[in-house]
Copies of this chain bind each other. A is one copy, B any other.
Amino acid sequence: MNAKISTPLSFVPVEQKIDRVCVRATAPDAQQTRQNVILSHLIRHIQMAQATQSNAFLREYELNAVSFTALMMLFSSPECALNPSELADATGESRANVTRICDELVAKKLLTRSPNSEDRRRVDLRLAPEGEELVQRFLPQMRDRVHNVFNVLSQDERNTLENLLKRVLTELG
């Protein structure tokens, strides 16, 4: 019953291919290109592996990683309320997708939608009590999942990683 998908996440074959790309491409600064591409793919593989694992865990509870993230971001907002566009920024999802996700969450009574009194274009999304309970219930388990992954690094290393990733993200803005 160990349906653990045999996921050979070994990055070695990927890295070898990137090496060969750089050899074949004969770029002027092949070494740096090689490293940049590797960094890019590392991030991609990590993200996909994380999403896959989170989704597999949450599926039993008829949730997915994006919905849970949305609930968590609401959970952590003042009065548990956000606008759809704020939620889109917080989760990284498109606004269209946020609309759909909120449809689902409202249908599940985890979330309420109400018109904003000051700006009638806006909508207030507010976490319902059931949504709050749900977040409280799953947070520890989700925390453990993330925990185990980054615990291979020391505190210093985590600080370094955080700093480096933030600078990279800033560059993408």
Contacts and interface: CB of A to CB of B under 8 A. Distances in A.
Interface of A: 4, 7-11, 13-14, 16-21, 24-25, 27, 32-33, 35-40, 42-51, 53, 72-73, 75-77, 86, 89-90, 92, 136, 139-140, 143, 146-153, 155, 157-162, 164-173
Contacts of A147: 32-33, 36
A21 B75 CA distance: 7
Count of chain copies: 2
Given A21-B76, A39-B161, A92 B143 contact: no
Contacts of A7: 173
A43 B43 contact: yes
Given A9-B169, A39-B162, A152-B171, A17 B143 contact: no
